[in-house]
Structure formats: structure tokens, C-alpha cells
Chain A
């Protein structure tokens, strides 16, 4: 998966090969090479600018006043600057409560699902379980189901359990639905840890729990880090499960509360933009901080 970087460099170093032996054809080749590099940077930066434009725009909109937007239109240049929309979204729009709810759901869900998944992956990859592959695929298969087939029964199930409209229901279903995928990824990773390490521990008298906690889990850290970054954004960004098992506005996590904000502040684009910025900030922070893990996680999940 982590293949060579070496291939990419070969051509570049060649072009810097030294001006000493520059002869006519070499010079024109160098020239066209420079043109190509310029062309590349032009294309790539145009593309990046295009991609970043909506983000820049939402940042600008969030710092405009409502009067400015009403007078000049949401697509005009800004004629004002204020952070008041953030206060409106945060306090009046209930985003503070919503962000707390999101964290109350996301952090336990990530911990619980990765904890459970690493245990199952450990058992399936390090022991000769009967029906090992069937169990693994059953768990993965559950995660691949379209959530729509589960929505109605899950909402009824949480009513029966008496946890409908409570964050526990959201944590429960997110753990249950996500765990299969994490088991599959972690299983693939743990299987590649050499058996000798485990044997040595067994000879030293270590039990399964110690092998799991002291040896396999620390060795699986890269995969766990990748999945943590990935699952944090997935769970934090979820809308569908939240609006399926929750009803009260004060219980809603940030994504669902954004939809509420959209209804509450119709055409007050400054508040809606500020709300979107608040909702996106945590995952952007995770991404910027753990970019490498994040990208690794996406590729880990890809079954070849």
C-alpha cells in the first residue's frame, strides 16, 4: 500500500543534471520542460482555487452583516465585517448545545467501536476460530447494507428500549453499524504481525488478554490511528442516524442542528454560513492534524 516515492523523483533530478554539458538540443528540451512545469502549476493552482472557492466564500459570508447581504445580495463583495453571526449561530441558534451533543456521541462511539472491533479482530486474526472467515464477512456485510433498510426497525427498537430521543440510542446504532468495517480493516492489519511475537509471549506465560493489550494493540497503532481519524469524521458528520433516533432539537448533534438552523434563519446567509463553519471546524482540525493517518485510513478501507 505504501509504495515507493522514488519513482516520482527520477525525472526531476534528471532535469537538474547540471548546466555544464548544456548543448543546443538539451537546452530546448530544458526549455520545454520548464514550460511544462509552469503549465502544471497553472493548471493545478487554478483547480485548487476552484476547489477552495466555496470555502473562501463561506468564510467571507459568515463575517458579513445581515444588512449587507440584504442590501447587496449574498453573492456580492463584502461591505461589512463582523463576528456577530457566529454569536447568533452559537448562542441563539443552539450550535453550542449541538456541538456538545456531537462530541458526547462521537467520542464514546469512536472509542467503543474501535475497542470492540480490535478485540474481535485480535481473536479472528490471532487464533484459529471456527468459522473465522464466515464471521468476518458476516460482520463486514452488515456494514455494507444500505442504512435505509434499518431505519424503521432501529427507530422502533430504540422506542422499545426506552432510549428513543436519547444520545445512547445514537451511540448504540453507530457502534453496531460501524463495528463490522473496523473489524475487517483491523483484521487485515493484525494478520500481518508475525506469529513468533505471540508465541514468545505465550511461552512467558501471558494470557490472551495480556497478549491483546500489551502486544497486539500497541503494534496495531498505525491502523488504529488511521481508523480513529476516519471514524471521527464519519460519525461526527452523520445526519441520517441522528434524525432517525432523535427528535428533540436540544438533543440533535451538529449536522442535524444545521438543518434546523437553515429552517430557523431562512435567507440569513451570514448565520447559516457561520453555522457551517462551526460544524466543519472540528473535522477540518482533525484532518489538518492527522492528514497522513486520514489518507492512510481511506486506503486501508479499500479492499483490493
Chain B
């Protein structure tokens, strides 16, 4: 530490201009494509705009319209449900898979790779793979028929009652491997002496999990939580590719509703307001992520 401190001081004499440029160029690129558009986005949410004439300032009109918008309510509820279901299940299944596959042994590399492989697919490709399985004459219905559950057969994506859940499954299939990798790294970091001590104290496997593993994974849990919340609120591709939010908005998320409002109905002001709602939902997680990053950056 002392050494680093002293090198810091000797470096502190002055920052050469070229080094300043090293920071400023990327910063300007980000300011141009992200910060400036983001500010515009907030402003546009206070306007009514068709993209052609000049935006008309309407104050909070877009937000008060949301209160009476049934589709918005569906999309908001679905987004929260998506967050809980997609988030909760991918965390639970990811942790489960990591627990199962944590020990280095023969064949483990294959099992891990199998679970991880879908992570590298685009969500669109993932969606198309599952779309074929969901067809009325597709694999899922055939399997149900074969095991005597023919009564459960569905047009999974065309049915209002099942479309939302049918869309979650492919998203989960792709996310579990990712969460597993994060948990595998976390599990590796746990000091084995803790388990030895727990065993000496006569702890059962469940108690070891409850009182050693889970507390030790606290920092990884925080990571997984932020990854999941940010990913959930960004979820768009898989829904767009499978149902476009339909049928009758039953699988609509705020992200898909925002996109169709803005780029298909060309209601750019209202679309911006929907985007601000997504931002507000994500805000807490973004801040907590930045706070952790801030501590780490020192």
C-alpha cells in the first residue's frame, strides 16, 4: 500500500495532455451517443411528438395518460411478474446447477458447457428454436400426447393464458447457464475450512448450505441480483420474436410496448415516457451497482 502511495505521488506531478485525450475521446463518444440522447429522452417524455412536426410540450400529460391506459397496466404488471419469475427462477436454477456442478470431476466440463451453450445464442435464435417446439404439431404437444397428457395440449403462443409463460421459458433456458457461471466462481471462492468446521460441529448438508454457503455467497448474490434486474428490464428480443407482445397484449412488457408505441404507432412522446418508467424501475439497481463499483474502484 505504502509503495503504491508513493508511486501515486510521483505520478501526480502532472497529467500529460495526450493522457487527457485518452480519456476525453471515449468520454465524448459516450456523451454523444448516450448522455446527450438520454437527456433528450427525458425531455421528449414531456412532449407530444409524431417525429415530423416539432415536439409539442405537454408537461406531465403522457404520465397522466398512463394511469388510464389498460395496456400500460398489463405491460407494467407483466414486467414485474417477469422480473420475479424470470429473475427468481434463473437465480434459483443457476445456483442449483452451480451446486450440482461445482466439484471438479470427470465429465464436469461437458455438463457445464451443455448448460452454458445457450448463453451464446442470440435471443432471436433462441426464440425461433422454441417457436417450432411450441407449434400445435410441435414437440411439446407431441410429448404431452405420448405420455397421456393430451388434454394439456395448447397452441402455447397463441393462447392468452399461456403466451407469457411460454415466452419466459426460452429466456430462462438461455439465462440459467450465465447465472451458473457467476455462482460457480462464487462457490470456488468459499474457504473449504468453513465446511470442515461445520462438519466437525455436526452440521447437516442443509445446515451447511444455509449457514455457510448462502452467507458466503452474499456478494455474488448482489451481483446476480443486479444482472437479473437489468437484464429483465431490457428483455425485448425474445418477446418481440415470439409474440410481439400479443395475443391481445397478454405477453406485453414495458420494453415491447415502448418500442411499438414509438416506432409503429409513432407516438414518440408517449414512448419516451414509457422509457422513463423503465428507467425509474432500473434506477435503484443502477445506483446500488455504482455504489459497489465506487467502493471497488479505490
A interface residues, Cβ below 8 angstroms from B: 1, 3-5, 7-12, 37, 40-41, 43-45, 47-48, 51-52, 54-55, 57-58, 61, 73-76, 116-117, 119-120, 122-124, 126-130, 133, 135-157, 172-173, 175-177, 179-180, 183-184, 187-188, 195-196, 198-199, 207-209, 212, 233, 236-240, 243-244, 254-256, 258-259, 262, 267, 269, 272-273, 275-276, 279-280, 283-284, 286-287, 291, 294-295, 298-299, 302-304
Contact = CB atoms under 8 A, between A and B. Distances in A.
B26 A148 contact: no
Given A144-B286, A146-B278, A302-B182, 19 more contacts: A5-B188, A8-B104, A11-B103, A44-B108, A74-B139, A123-B15, A145-B38, A149-B272, A151-B262, A153-B36, A208-B16, A212-B22, A237-B122, A258-B124, A262-B131, A276-B125, A284-B121, A302-B227, A303-B292
Question: What are the 10 tightest A-B residue pairs by CB atom distance, in nearest-first order?
Answer: A176-B33, A73-B137, A237-B122, A195-B7, A153-B37, A48-B114, A8-B104, A123-B22, A153-B40, A148-B275
A286 to B, nearest CB: 7
Interface string B134-163: 010111111000000000000000000000
B135 A74 contact: yes
A43 B100 contact: yes
B122 A136 contact: no
B105 interface: yes
A98 B129 CA distance: 19
Interface residues of B, number: 113
A110 to B, nearest CB: 15
A237 B234 CA distance: 14
Contact of B33 (A41, A172, A196, A272): A172
A75 B139 contact: yes
Contacts of A150: 33-34, 37-38, 41
Nearest to B237: A239
A135 to B, nearest CB: 6
A237 to B, nearest CB: 3
A44 B101 contact: yes
Given A128-B11, A199-B7, A280 B182 contact: no
B164 interface: no
A48 B115 contact: yes
